[in-house]
Structure 1
Amino acid sequence: MKFMRLAAVAALSLATLAGVAEAKEWKKVRMGTEGAYPPFNYVDASGKLTGFDVEIGQALCDEMKVECEWVTQEWDGIIPGLVAGKFDTIIASMSITDERRQKISFSEKYYNTPPALAVRKDTDLTGVTPADLKDRVIGAQSSTTHAIYAEQTFVDSDVRLYPTSEDYKLDLESGRVDGVNDDIMVLTEWIDSDKGACCKILGTYKTVPSIHGEGAGIGVRKGDEDLAAMFSKAIKAIRANGKYKEINDKYFKFDVYGD
């Protein structure tokens, strides 16, 4: 009996040591982002990766005292890229949804803004309801919550999906679509620039939690929930110390963190 008890204690000790050995100490974090979703993440004229996601991500790394290394990945492959180990996080305006939680884990949100519909200034559209958009062509970026919302809501419209937001903007500008559905800040940033002079925001939509999720969070692989918790703690810290507001005010006219 005594031998068995000692053996059990030894086995437990080995298991504990193994668990400690497997726990990762995060000194460097590879941050995955799309790099094609302004103003949240994009490559500027000098070739530098920048945007709200990128600056917030860097501020979080500084708060956690870890080194950041940025990796760009096309949106459709961003979750597979994370799972495959190409990077350690996704910070790319990815909404926290139940469907995505089946594949990856998330930090708490770092912002939450509503969806909107942008149209050409010369449009004859006067509303943004499904009835208003019946028989119209509506664009959205594929594999996004906005694409899901458009397909499930505008059932009497011709919904067309595009690999990037830049692609649907070109089609709206040329009149090949009647409107596009995306985050209001993405659309506003474009419309306020010379490139978006053709268009305007026609209206916004109330977020649907089952589709749009709980806001944008930082995605991590299953098993790396400790890293997600580090980011959640750091988000609270930069909200409290003013760093979040400093970055927010550089890009937006109101607090995008949401309720």
Structure 2
Amino acid sequence: MSEFPHLSRRGFLTRSAAVGGLVAVPGLITACSKTDSGSDGEGSKLEQLKKQGYVKVAYANEAPYGYKEDDQLKGEAPTLHREIFKALGVAELRPTFSEWDGLIPGLQAGKYDVISAGMAIIPDRCEKALFSEPEFVSPTAMMVKKGNPKNLSDLASAKEAGVTVGVMSGAVEKSYATAAGISGGSIKTLQKPQDGADAVKGGRIDAFLLTSISLNWLAKNNSGLEVTEAFIPEADGKKQYSPGGAVFRKGTEDLRDAFNRELKKITSDPDRYVQLIGEYGFGKETIPPADLKTAALCKG
């Protein structure tokens, strides 16, 4: 049995609302699945993508997972996914931006083929979409003012100090804070990582909770702030190691399975893994353990 039975990462919680009022309509997922799986006689989803020469991917503009800079799609997920799809015979990633709350509803509606944003693998989402095997694991940290005036080290210390913590809208970090006993009135919701940094600078919150990878990246462009040492939060007595992966529409299992085969070649080769995404803060320590499987993560 895996020693990492309950792992998750930041991302939106269960929501029906999406950008532009898009909602998941009963029956829509099934309809999309029939088309994507090739039941209309057009072949598998992977074959369709190979014929058209590109795959539509969604990103949330969150560095270092998936973001746009100088009109180029960059980050951990797009870099890995570009390498994988190239190996599968699909030469181009065509990106679409989405807010976090709209990523899965947009996938269900057929706006794109893959979510390329380092999304956390948690049971709620597994009910709505297909996840690849984990691409990485990441511990959690807090962004605080320079010098760490409240002397914060983890969520237990935040509760003891009675501080106000910030989390991203719909992010799993809110559940971590709640599980640690921090009251709802002491948890503030922000829309974007930069909003969290600005709130710490302005004194509206004492700490901003997110993955250590995200916060260390954010700190590069925000003077006067620092990031605590990474820690592993707990929920219901279980450690949360935070794995993320690619997300596919239900009914495109052939595409997900082919993707997994190429992903394994990369995660099984630490040097190649670091060569590909090391510049984004990912290293050998973020390579998922071989026994960490999405099927177990989806069960919770």
TM range (shorter): 0.7 to 0.9
Residues 1:197 and 2:216 aligned together: no
Q: Within the alignment, does 1:112 sit opposite 2:137 as a pair?
A: yes
2:164 aligns with 137
Q: For 1:240-259, list aligned pairs within 5 A.
A: 240=268, 243-252=272-281, 254-255=283-284, 256-259=286-289
Q: 1:163 aligns with which of 166, 170, 191?
A: 191
Alpha-carbon separation, structure 2, partners of 1:145 and 1:251: 22
Q: Report the Cα distance in structure 2 between the residues aligned to 1:43 and 1:97, rounded to whole angstroms.
A: 26
Q: Tell me, what secondary structure is at the counterpart of 1:103? A: coil
The aligned counterpart of 2:55 is: 29
Q: CA RMSD in A?
A: 2.5
Q: Secondary structure at the match of 1:49?
A: strand
SS in 1 for 2:104: helix
Query: For 2:247, which of 208, 214, 219 is the aligned residue?
Result: 219
Distance 1:153 1:189, change over 3 A: same
Q: Paired residue for 2:265?
A: 237
Change (3 A) 1:23 1:49: closer
Q: Which structure exhibits the higher relative contact order, with contacts defined as CA atoms closer than 8 Å and separated by 6 or more residues?
A: 2
Report the CA distance between 1:60 and its aligned residue. Answer: 1.2
CA contact (8 A) 1:171 1:177 kept: yes
1:158 is displaced (CA, Å) by 0.6
Deviation at 1:126, TM superposition (A): 1.9
TM-score normalised according to structure 2 size: 0.72
Q: Structure 2 vs 1, CA of residues 49 and 19 (structure 1 numbering), >3 Å: closer, same or farther?
A: closer
**Unaligned stretches of 5+ in structure 1?**
1-16
Give distance in 2, aligned partners of 1:79 and 1:98.
13
Q: Which residue of 2 aligns with 1:90?
A: 115
Distance in 1 (alpha carbons) for counterparts of 2:190 and 2:253: 32
Shift of 1:258: 3.5
- Which deviations, in whole Å up to 9, do the C-alpha atoms of 1:176-227 show, x marking residues without a partner? 1100111101111122x2x222112223221558795761111111111211
Does the residue aligned with 2:130 lie in a helix, a strand or coil? strand
- Alignment-derived partner of residue 9 in structure 1: none
Sort the Cα spacing of 1:64 and 1:53 in 2 relative to 1 into closer, same or farther, 3 A: same
SS at match of 1:223: coil
Q: 1:127 to 1:170 in 2, by over 3 A?
A: closer
The corresponding residue for 2:211 is: 183
1:132-176 residue CA offsets vs partner (Å, 9 max, x unmatched) = 223311011112222322233242361111111121111112221
Give the CA deviation at 1:38: 1.1
Partner of 2:82: 58
- Aligned mates of 2:134, 2:89 — CA distance in 1: 20
- Give, in whole Å, the separation in 2 of the partners of 1:211 and 1:91: 25
Structure 2 residue ranges without an equivalent (≥5): 1-37, 290-300
State whether residues 193 and 218 of structure 2, in contact with CA within 8 Å, keep that contact through their aligned partners in structure 1: no
Tell me, yes or no, if the aligned pair for 1:76 and 1:163 is still in contact at 8 Å.
no
Q: Secondary structure at the match of 2:117?
A: coil
Percent of aligned pairs sharing the same letter: 24
The CA deviation at 1:117 is 1.3
Q: 1:130 to 1:248 in 2, by over 3 A?
A: closer
Does the CA-based 8 Å contact 1:148-1:211 persist in structure 2?
Answer: no
TM-score, normalised to structure 1's length? 0.82
Residue 103 of structure 1 and its aligned partner are, at CA, apart by 0.9
